[in-house]
Amino acid sequence: MILAVALVKRQDDQTLEALQKAIELSGGFEDLKSGTKVILKPNMVMRGFRNQPSHGMVTPVETMASMITLLREHGCNDLTIADGGVIHPDLKLNTSTAYRWAGYNELSERMNVPLVDLNEGPFVTVEIESLPVKVARLITEAEFLIDMPVLKTHNQTKVSLGIKNLKGIIAYESKKDCHRQDLMRSIALLGRAIKVDLTVLDGTYGMQKGPTGQDYHKMDVFVAGKDILEVDIVGSHLLGYDPAEVEHLSIYAELADRSLSLENVEVIGEKINNLAKPLEWYATWTKDLMALHKIKGVSIEPPDSTCCSGCGFGIFVAVSNFFQANAGKDFGNIAIVMGRQKISDQDVSKVICLGKCACETNSSHPNIVKIPGCPAGVKQMTERMFSVNGE
Ligand code: SF4
């Protein structure tokens, strides 16, 4: 099957022109009738550092503004921006704070387009294999859904593109269920269950060791296509990954009986090889923090796919505080774990378990230090770690 994906290089920061070209080349509005209600699904995420730019983390506000302009020129005036971002009460992270931080509140007022927090529902239950998942009804009932992800690597899924971006449409509890069950399969199944009419991948920046942080690289590309898998295939190659190495894409392709080969994708516009920028996906923040603060004797890996963002964001802050306060210390032989990471080494003098999942998974370890909670609170983690091993 041959379908078209547009790959466009933005020249001189001309976002509107580049986006328009990408949509025209991909035939993205061909099936969109004037007057249709359109839902725009950006990638809305933030972490605790509000003074840092949102480059490479969220769908840029300029891109969203340009999309709104093009849709209005096409005769579509009933537009809604909708996403469900990371929730972390201690860090005051939620969809609203992410919208504000990324400039979406100002955009909403200026262009008169409502912002919706999908975390607030209402939801409909969609069965994906044996897992009932609560999906925002706004999405399941959308007349025309435009998925607008960002070109990112991801420390759990290798890449975060169109299919992965759909995780923002499900309820917070369902997100946790996906991590407990099988994250990669859940993402692929969700992607198969949701009808996306157009995917526009913003590659203003490519994010290395994402999905958040400041390791962003200017790339100035747009990828657009009516087929979400094909956009993700092109996006993977732009980041330097064969999509066959990306588990959720492999599962999606298998479920859909599709190929992941680039030979089956007609790329119109630029050449991938001329624009690709290989970026690393695996996070090293635990090792980086240990090196920065000269910490020894601690075994700690970044959150794997069993750890959801509710825990992950708070853990980063708590562990940062802990290492900073204990700079230069040798802890001998302790481990810090999160999600379903398991420590079987009985010689470890302490296994500090951050969150309910880690506590359950390591419950039989003789030297367990439990810090429960789902997610575990930042203050609770920090205080307990200090009481166990702090100075
Ligand atoms: S304990 Fe943490 S990782 Fe486990 S489900 Fe709760 S928030 Fe997610």
CATH number at 194 reads 3.40.50
Q: Which of 215, 242, 275 is the last residue of a domain?
A: 275
Task: Give the mean model confidence (pLDDT) for residues 27-40.
Answer: 97
Do 268 and 290 lie in a common domain?
Answer: no
Do 270 and 293 lie in a common domain?
Answer: no
Phi/psi of residue 219, each to 5°? -130, -30
Q: What is the rounded radius of gyration, in angstroms, for the C-alpha atoms of the chain?
A: 21
In the prediction, which pLDDT does 307 show? 95
- Please name the residue whose Cα sits nearest to atom 3 of ligand 1: 307
Q: Please report whether residue 280 resides in a domain.
A: no
In the prediction, which pLDDT does 88 show? 87
Do 62 and 123 lie in a common domain?
Answer: yes
Distance between CA 222 and CA 14 in Å, rounded?
12
Q: Which of 44-48, 119-123, 171-175 has the lowest mean pLDDT?
A: 44-48
CB-ligand 1 contact for 337 (6 Å cutoff): no
Do 98 and 151 lie in a common domain?
Answer: yes
Polymer length in residues for the chain: 391
Q: Please report whether residue 182 resides in a domain.
A: yes
CB-ligand 1 contact for 226 (6 Å cutoff): no
Task: Give the mean model confidence (pLDDT) for residues 122-141.
Answer: 96
Do 231 and 328 lie in a common domain?
Answer: no
Dihedral, CA of residue 264, residue 269, residue 273 and residue 277, to nearest 10: -110
Q: Which of 275, 305, 337 is the last residue of a domain?
A: 275
Band (pLDDT 50/70/90 cuts) for residue 1 is very low
Distance between CA 347 and CA 7 in Å, rounded?
53
- Helix ranges (H only) for 54-171 are 61-73, 95-101, 104-111, 137-140, 162-165
Q: Which of 219, 247, 275 is the last residue of a domain?
A: 275
Do 251 and 371 lie in a common domain?
Answer: no
150 to 133, 329, 338: CA distances (angstroms) = 24, 39, 27
Q: Please report whether residue 99 resides in a domain.
A: yes
Beta carbons of 224 and 5 less than 8 angstroms apart = yes
* Residue tagged 């090889």 (tokens): 273
Q: Please report whether residue 48 resides in a domain.
A: yes
- Please name the residue whose Cα sits nearest to atom 8 of ligand 1: 308
Q: Please report whether residue 67 resides in a domain.
A: yes
Return the number of other C-beta atoms located less than 10 Å from residue 73's C-beta: 10
3-state SS, residue 223 = strand
Q: Please report whether residue 347 resides in a domain.
A: yes
CB-ligand 1 contact for 312 (6 Å cutoff): no
pLDDT tens column, 48-82:
667 788 899 999 999 999 999 999 999 999 999 99
- Please name the residue whose Cα sits nearest to atom 5 of ligand 1: 176
Domain that holds residue 83: 3-275
State the pTM of this model.
0.95
